[in-house]
Structure 1
Amino acid sequence: MIKVSVVLPIYNVEKYLPKCLDSVINQTLKDIEIICVNDCSADNCENIIKEYIKKDSRIKLINHKENQGLGFARNSGLNESNADYVVFIDSDDFISYDYIEHLYNTAIKNNADIVFTNNIYTVNENKGYIKPYYHNRLEKWKKDFRDNCFEGESNFNVDTFEKENTPEYPLVVAWNKLYKKEFLKEKKLLYSQVRLAEDVDMFYRILANNPKMFYNNNAKYYYLQRAASLAGNVSHTVKIPVAILEVFKNVYNYYKENKKDLLVSCNYYNFISLMHTFNNYKADNKNEFYKKCHDLMKELDVEIDRNKHAFIAYSVYVMKTYDDYNIYLEKIESIKKKVFDIAWWIPSITLREKYKKVNLDKLANKNWK
């Protein structure tokens, strides 16, 4: 009986694919199927998969006739799944050998819709080093949450206040989670056609449907950092990543139509995701990107709760009001520099983040007119 479908979206990753496949086929949970979705790779990926199929009958190959992007590749795998649970693994990453078993056992024990891990390691392609994504936070959680550090229920939603630095925060990505297929199908949750931040779009739509969510931090995920990835390309491209604006609008409209009472709360996280891409974009035409952000904030008349998130609310206000990027820099980046220059010297990550939050909000309220 197949318990978990492992979906690998694949596109031009021949250098990394064998390590990924090895980590999956050697899982301690053997009752899995491995669905490789080849999204028109121009390299040797298809042949690599076929060689692995000869060694492991659990592996299946789906070949797209045209390149459709990461989200659609995940949809293809989901539609071909024969298990009750689905895991998405990016094909340049790899996982610990007990990764799926840990997530699956938590799901079965609690009848969960989603189980995730925050035990994530980043692998630097150029330098080769591996370090924890959350640095020393897992050690801190061991002290603060004790028995609940490694496994527990997550009550996180877009209306949750200050849970980002706890084990309950699920991280806005597709690849550190196990999903109950019935939940995704029942709620009609599929990935959209956007080519960037499709996991952001999906994540917030999932949260709007009140999933029963747990975490198991015994499962380890290894995330490869490389410049040629979709995320890495943002800092190197000169083409404005307008897809992130489409994602913002998709999420905004989904909550407006389905969860209007949580729209303002969702705007905070949605805007944070937008700014992650905006801040990483380094091209000379960034002022044009800013103008597009301004137009969207103005069109949607985006609001964020000032009492909860004064600095982010002020950032939205400035972006919505002024179409000149220099004004935004003057009003927002100057505040960040004042606070960050001092926060940098605080050794504790927890105290550093708390200092940033308090003082950014304080300066934002002072500057607000």
Structure 2
Amino acid sequence: MVVLPKISVIIPVYNTGKYIKQILSSIKVQNCDDIEIICIDDASTDNSLIILKELKKDFKNLYIIENEKNLGVGSTRNIGVLKSKGKYIWFIDSDDNIELNSISTIKNYIDCDPDILIFNINVFDCQKEKFLNNSWYNNFNNLVDENLRYRIIEYDCYKKFIYFINMTLHNKIIKREILLNNNLYFSNLKYYEDGYFLLQCYSKKPKLMFINDRLHTYNINREQSATTVIKDKTLKELGFYNTIGKVFLFIYDNLKTQDAELFVNFFYFFVRSWYVKCKAFEKNYFLKNINKKTLEIKKVIGEDKINNIYYYNLFFKNINSLKNIKLYEDNTVYHFINSFGLTLFRSKKNTKISMFRIFEIPIFTKRIQNDKTQIKILGLPIFRNRCNENIYMFRIFEIPIFTKRIQNDKTQIKILGLPIFRNRCNENIYMFRIFEIPIFTKRILNNVKIYKIIGIPVFKIKKTIELDVSKIISTIKEENRILEYRLKSHYENLIGCYKQHSLVFSKYRNIYKNNEVVILGSGPTLKYYKKDPNKIYIGCNRVFRDFELDFLFMADYEGVKSYINELANISNNTKIFFGFNMFDNYKHDKYHWKNKLRIPNSFLTLNNVDFYYINRDLDSSYTREIFDDISIYPLSDFYTIAHHAFHFALFTGAKKIYIVGCDSSYNGYYDGANQNLQWSTDFKIIINGWKKFKKFADIYYPATQIISINPIGLKGIFHDEYTEEFLLNTKDNNG
């Protein structure tokens, strides 16, 4: 009979080669016959894995798991949970250590069968080299009555205080079946992943036991530890707004339960603790975020209830009590007034910038950067000049009063934006213009001199009839402004695309060569498709609302505005790709529709998001080509996001690709919504794009079988298959 271990000790390891021996040694000296130790190396770049393998020789119950790539502490712990066999789980950091006899002490108390065992810990400051009397980590001592310790207590006994005790995992042992039975796993949050995990655990009403014993030593301020690295970071850099979004959604889902007021009280306790930590320049943004969420809470529980909640009142009371608070940060001075922490005025001064704001309205700004001086009043550019060896510029209200440029042997003078004078002089050409009228031109082109006055050829002298064709072509290219611009744009796009795509797509090359991939478009025929859990799913646009996906493609076009904010509810297991245009002749026109971004920049900071480039409408060969290597070149777009998903699926090397819901016709969406014809495209262009992809796939991916499920516009392009439900519910069964 196989005896399962009582405790699984799960230790995520990332670049802690200096300390891993210490934690394992503190376990080894104890009675650990009936425990297992699972160390998961999260793709460390130091010698952590080598040390682990060396130490394994001294343990019979040490198991090492290697992550192929860095997944983060949350996902790494989840792997440990799934691989563990113990009745209880103890999550320990690889740079901490446990106290002598802690394991035997834990074994004694888990025989009472609590769902979660909570104990005290020691806190050691590695910089000060001393133990701290830190009451926060052991704050349950102030909240839990003595008569509730050393015994099992139910949810009704602890619910009023449990969400206010230390929300870290260092001092908690959790029964494994509680996690597995309730699908409780860690989210890959940059910060507060322990707190969000425990918040979900406690909501399942587990049986708890509190003991006074100190069983673990938590090391703080250790070099390169997570707590040390985050000290100087802003809340945005810490991913706080992603975290608070998760916490808020959890609270919001419980607003109609009998414990709604308890959860709301915790929410404002949580945001209050973070408000005091955030930097001065973040406070306004922080409060705007919280005020929006407060409105949502009020809609559900009502104004009367929320006004009686303790931490809600304490949070806003503290903010409203602020009067003429002055904070100094870097070179900035912030002055707050009594209105939800609103900044009354802000000033900043250094050698490069002077700034003065009232109520966040920029009253006066002066910037000096790259030989350019700019002055703005009320956000309007009043004055700007630039002076270096090649250019002098003077502007008022962005009106170019005077500009002089010297570039490539050419001098140009403009007044009020009008070209007044231009000349060019080199060994082959001399030109003199006034108001763009060519007054005099002399050109030497392959031994032929041509003279023009006011654009009219006056005479030419031919010395020889020999023609140097290459030199003629070179001269024409040099003088063709449009061609020069296209070449420059082409080069910039190529470099920018390569830098981004090599990071985003390289890892997916041929990754699914043994898998079948399904492209889910949003056409009505999608509703006739039954999902097969054994396939890889790539969704387009709105389908994330109703389908669990492995990948989601969305492009920065007008239609996404109606559902972009719903991405807050998407699973962390879905990789999201946002597509953006590469600009050429549009990039200087801020009013052009392509430059009006629909995808907020805040979405690009999420952990499971990357962006990529597409080649729609480019004035270059990019528009006409489908490239086989998307780790270098843009994804091809013939006016549908499904082309991006299909291009990516081919790149993954899938042995079979199913195209579902890509109807390519004016028949609405699978969820019953109608298409906005203002933003729709002639589907002939889209269908011709699919035909181009068919030729491309036949050449570059001949082994990939491509199947179109219930095709309408795509009928006859790929191998067609129909579902029985589609045939029964469609008058025209497509043959």
- Alignment length (residue pairs): 318
1:30-52 deviations in Å (ceiling 9; x for gaps): 31111001111111111111111
Identity %: 22
Matches within 5 A, 1:126-165: 126-134=127-135, 145=146, 151-155=150-154, 160-161=159-160, 163=161
Unaligned runs of 5+ in 2: 326-333, 342-735
CA deviation profile, 1:172-227 (whole Å, cap 9, x unmatched): 11221111111110011011121210111111111110001112222421111116
How far the C-alpha of 1:68 sits from its partner, in A, is 1.4
Counting only pairs closer than 5 Å after superposition, residues 1-369 of structure 1 correspond to structure 2 as 1=3, 2-109=5-112, 111-117=113-119, 119-134=120-135, 145=146, 151-155=150-154, 160-161=159-160, 163=161, 171-226=166-221, 228-238=224-234, 240-241=236-237, 243-257=239-253, 260-261=256-257, 262-282=259-279, 285-287=281-283, 289-291=285-287, 293-294=289-290, 296-298=292-294, 300-301=296-297, 305-309=306-310, 312-316=312-316, 330=338
Change (3 A) 1:287 1:127: same
SS of corresponding position for 2:290: helix
- Structure having the higher Rg: 2
**Residue 306 (structure 1) shift:** 4.2
Report if the CA contact (8 A) 1:28-1:101 is conserved: yes
Q: CA deviation at 1:294?
A: 3.5
Change (3 A) 1:329 1:34: farther
Query: Larger deviation: 248-257 or 91-100?
Result: 248-257
Task: Tell me the secondary structure at the aligned position of residue 94 of structure 2.
Answer: coil
User: Structure 1 length as normaliser, TM-score?
Assistant: 0.74
Distance 1:328-1:27 versus aligned 2 partners, 3 A rule: farther
CA 1:239–1:148: 2 relative to 1, 3 Å = closer
* 1:113–1:212 CA contact under 8 A, matched in 2: yes
Q: In the alignment, is the contact (CA less than 8 A) between 1:9 and 1:39 conserved in 2?
A: yes
Provide closer, same or farther for how the CA distance between residues 259 and 104 of structure 1 changes in structure 2, counting only shifts above 3 A. Answer: farther
Check the 8 A contact 2:90/2:174 in 1, yes or no: yes
Query: Does the Cα contact within 8 Å between 1:318 and 1:328 map onto a contact in 2?
Result: no
Partners of 1:16 and 1:92 within 8 A in 2: yes
User: Are 1:189 and 1:206, in contact at CA under 8 Å, matched by a contact in 2?
Assistant: yes
| More strand, by proportion | 2
**C-alpha distance in structure 2 between counterparts of 1:55 and 1:193, whole Å:** 33
Counterpart residue identity of residue 269, structure 2: I
Change over 3 Å in CA distance of 1:91–1:157 after alignment to 2 = farther
Instruction: For residue 70 of structure 1, report the CA deviation from its aligned partner.
Output: 1.2
SS at match of 1:152: coil
Deviation at 1:61, TM superposition (A): 0.9
Listed one character per residue, the Cα deviations across residues 17-76 of structure 1 (whole Å, up to 9, x for unaligned) are 221111122233431111001111111111111111011121111111111111111111
SS at match of 2:111: helix
Greater length-normalized contact order (CA 8 Å, ≥ 6 residues apart): 1
CA 1:276/1:160 → structure 2, altered by over 3 Å: closer, same or farther? same
- 1:109-161 CA distance string (max 9 Å, x none): 2x2111111x21111011110134328989x87xx73x765x23345679844
The amino acid across from 2:171 in the alignment is: N
Change (3 A) 1:240 1:18: same
In 2, the alpha carbon distance for the partners of 1:257 and 1:137 equals 29
Structure 1 residues 125, 293: closer, same or farther in 2, change over 3 A?
farther
1:305 and 1:287, CA in 2 relative to 1: closer, same or farther beyond 3 A?
Answer: closer
Which amino acid is the alignment partner of residue 115 of structure 1? L
Give the residue type in structure 1 aligned to 2:152. E
Query: Unmatched 5+ residue regions in structure 1?
Result: 334-369
Q: What amino acid is aligned across from residue 263 of structure 2 in structure 1?
A: C
Indicate how the Cα distance of structure 1 residues 300 and 90 shifts in structure 2: closer, same or farther if over 3 A, else same: farther
SS in 1 for 2:57: helix
Larger helix proportion, structure 1 or 2? 1
Q: Distance in 2 between matches of 1:329 and 1:22?
A: 55
> Structure 1 residues 154, 305: closer, same or farther in 2, change over 3 A?
farther
The equivalent residue for 1:360 is none
CA distance change for structure 1 residues 101 and 332 in 2, over 3 Å: closer, same or farther? farther
Moved more, 178-187 or 8-17: 8-17
The corresponding residue for 1:363 is: none
TM-score (structure 2 length as normaliser):
0.39
